[in-house]
Amino acid sequence: MGKIIAIANQKGGVGKTTTAINLAASFAVNDLNVLLVDTDPQGNSTTGLGVQKVPGALTIYDALLRERSLADVMVKTELDGLHLVPADKNLVGANIELVDHGRREFRLKDLIAPLKDRYQYILIDCPPALDLLTVNALVAADSVLIPIQCEFFALEGISQLLDTIDRLRQSFNPALRVEGVLLTMFDDRTNLTRQVAQDLKSFFGDEVFRTVIPRSIRLAEAPSFGKPILLYDVRSRGAESYIQLAKEILSK
């Protein structure tokens, strides 16, 4: 039965989508069947894997609100073993439209349930907000991976996310746990990065991954070519880091 990991942080620009794409790709090259579910209306995981947003094409919106299955809307990617449930701007209205829906917090969990035996890992790329889409992802997930950028405001808002996780445990998903905290855009040449990393390790303890994701031009470039870093530049530090992250998660 597959493990479901939500990748969440309500703060934008911390590397959620970069992590979703490249961790999924790293699992796939380890001969695992992987499903990446894009629940961000910006659809960056979708374009980052080279999937074109074609008018009329089925997306996660159709599954959440038009009774289509995830199998109906998923697409293949360039990597064998990696499938994607795409998103587009139609998802913007989903938070409002889901409000009156029965089992509104469980829509994604119910959709994923028939697929859990087909994939070893199901990753959910969350929007940068603690909204109903993120709640759906956290209710569906076994664990949550929290990317945090090594910057001055790194801890700002994290307490709110942790509070949301605690409330969801009490109400909807008692088994939800923190998969780990991932330090992103890491540059150990700066005092600020080292200090923030130390603060985060003091705050989160063993929940901080040993692997860190470096600040990397190649990582930033890859999505514009519609490729994960493993297909864009397999020898880059970014590719090595995500392969190492996948190994760290697999070894747990």
pLDDT at 160 over 90: no
Q: Mean per-residue pLDDT for 166-171? A: 95
Three-class DSSP category at 187? coil
Residues 6 or more apart from 68 whose CB is under 8 A from it? 58, 62
> For residues 131 and 8, is the Cβ–Cβ distance under 8 A?
no
Which pLDDT tens digit goes with each residue over 187-230?
Answer: 888 888 888 899 889 989 999 999 999 999 999 999 999 999 99
Report the C-alpha gap between 84 and 44 in whole angstroms: 12
> For residues 179 and 194, is the Cβ–Cβ distance under 8 A?
no
Model pLDDT, residue 237: 95
Q: What is the DSSP letter of 150?
A: S
Task: Indicate the average pLDDT of the chain.
Answer: 94
pLDDT at 142 over 90: yes
Q: Mean per-residue pLDDT for 68-90? A: 96
Q: Mean per-residue pLDDT for 119-123? A: 98
Distance of alpha carbon 77 from its chain centroid, rounded? 17
Model pLDDT, residue 186: 92
Model pLDDT, residue 151: 83
Quickly state the pLDDT bin for 134 (edges 50, 70, 90).
Answer: very high
Cite the DSSP H helix spans in 8-104: 16-28, 44-48, 60-65, 70-73, 94-97
Model pLDDT, residue 159: 83
Q: How many CB atoms lie within 10 A of CB 57?
A: 14
Report the C-alpha gap between 45 and 38 in whole angstroms: 6
pTM for this structure? 0.96
Q: 167, 137, 183: which is closest to 5 by C-alpha?
A: 137
Q: Mean per-residue pLDDT for 10-15? A: 91
Percent of the chain with pLDDT over 70: 100
pLDDT at 124 over 80: yes
Domains of the chain: 3-250 (3.40.50.300)
> For residues 91 and 98, is the Cβ–Cβ distance under 8 A?
no
Joined tokens for residue 116: 């859990």
Task: Give the relative orientation of helices 132-140 and 158-171 as an angle to the nearest 10 degrees.
Answer: 60
pLDDT at 102 over 90: no
Report the C-alpha gap between 157 and 144 in whole angstroms: 16
Q: 129, 122, 123: which is closest to 94 by C-alpha?
A: 129
